Amino acid sequence: MSLEFPLLCLGSLTALWLSLTVVLKLLSAARVWLLGNGGLVRPERLGRWAVVTGATDGIGKAYAEELARRGFSIVLISRSQEKLDDVSNSIVSKCGVETKTIAADFSSTDIYSKIEVGLKGLEIGVLGDKQVGISYSYPEFFLNLPDLDPFIDTLVNVNITSVCQMTRIVLPRMVERKKGAILNMSSASGMYPVPLLSVYSASKAFVDFFSRGLQAEYKNKGVIIQSVLPFFVATKLSKIRRPTLDKPSPQRYVEAQLRTVGLQTQTNGYLPHAVMGWVTTALLPAQILNRYVMGVGLSQRSRYLKKQKLG
């Protein structure tokens, strides 16, 4: 028997499988980006309170405001009581919802009993966590990082320990009620290694793996745990002042992201970022991506160091 017929069958089956995969991917993308989740993130569907860490600036503040607009009562957590009071007053006057504030510095590890007491008895529907996060002040080789020893502790406490501890505090009641959503802020820097931001990038990969692992553990208990991986958003942390299509304002990003809750366990949260995520991880070979990201880091580093010298 000639090889022609089996090869033809194999070719046709491969073409059919590829076409089906593409069609399914397009349908699922249309479901997420065109239809959304039908207003899932509402207090009547998840629970009365939303807890937002890093709630006084950037993406966290935008979550607090958007969730309040949707009717959630809000617990705001970050370091400065003064900033917490400002955001809380503005939310109360704009949205008329109840608020609570907890001042806590996530670079310490002795804050969790205070947070536990502050959250006791609340029906928590949403935890918007890791909206507090720290990065490098500029891209740098690991061994050249200023104050390396304390920097490692602080970054691990703020970016990693806090996400585990906040989950430990909030998840048990969600499991009991069989309802709730935990939105953990990772970063596109957690999708692939980012040299010269290695500790930050690795901490964001931790948040991503932790969230996806937990979702598999608690999915059938009715709790949503989502890993959120934005590219640049115009905030203080990213040092981007003017929003553009690919670097949206925190408000625009959060509105888009909340439509993906319950539909994607791992999400870039915003259509242009999803396209960027697909190009960087599915299309570009890892070696080329790594070399490109290293090049960008090196040029940002030398610009920063030159500026420091001139200043």
Ligand X SMILES: NC(=O)c1ccc[n+]([C@@H]2O[C@H](COP(=O)([O-])OP(=O)(O)OC[C@H]3O[C@@H](n4cnc5c(N)ncnc54)[C@H](OP(=O)(O)O)[C@@H]3O)[C@@H](O)[C@H]2O)c1
- To the nearest whole angstrom, how small is the minimum distance from the Cβ of residue 57 to ligand X? 4
Residue 170 backbone phi and psi in degrees, to 5: -95, -35
- To the nearest whole angstrom, how small is the minimum distance from the Cβ of residue 204 to ligand X? 7
236 touches ligand X (CB under 6 A):
yes
* Among residues 49, 72, 210, 232, the one that binds ligand X under rule CB under 6 A: 232
Half-sphere exposure of 288 (CA within 13 A, CB side): 7
Q: Which of 165, 201, 200 is nearest to 182 (CA)?
A: 165
Q: Give CA angle at 290 (287, 292), nearest 5°.
A: 110
Q: How many helices (H) and strands (E) does the chain have?
A: 11, 7
Q: Residue 136 catalytic?
A: no
The binding track of 123-142 with respect to ligand X, each residue x by CB under 6 A or -, is -------xxxxx--------
Of 9-17, 51-59, 172-180, 212-220: span binding ligand X (CB under 6 A)? 51-59
Residues 142 to 181 in contact with ligand X, rule: CB under 6 A: 158
Q: What is the C-alpha to C-alpha distance for residues 266 and 21, in angstroms, rounded to an integer?
A: 19
Q: What is the C-alpha to C-alpha distance for residues 101 and 118, in angstroms, rounded to an integer?
A: 8
CB-based contact 71:42 (threshold 8 Å): yes
CB closer to ligand X out of 60 and 125: 60
Residues 52 to 91 in contact with ligand X, rule: CB under 6 A: 54-60, 78-80, 83
Catalytic pick among 136, 138, 200, 270: 200
Q: What is the C-alpha to C-alpha distance for residues 11 and 255, in angstroms, rounded to an integer?
A: 44
99 touches ligand X (CB under 6 A):
no
Q: Which of 151, 155, 157 is nearest to 111 (CA)?
A: 157
- To the nearest whole angstrom, how small is the minimum distance from the Cβ of residue 120 to ligand X? 20
CB closer to ligand X out of 123 and 255: 255
187 touches ligand X (CB under 6 A):
yes
CB closer to ligand X out of 78 and 215: 78
CB-based contact 167:141 (threshold 8 Å): no
- Give the interface with ligand X as residue ranges (CB under 6 A): 54-60, 78-80, 83, 105-107, 130-134, 158, 185, 187, 230, 232-233, 235-238
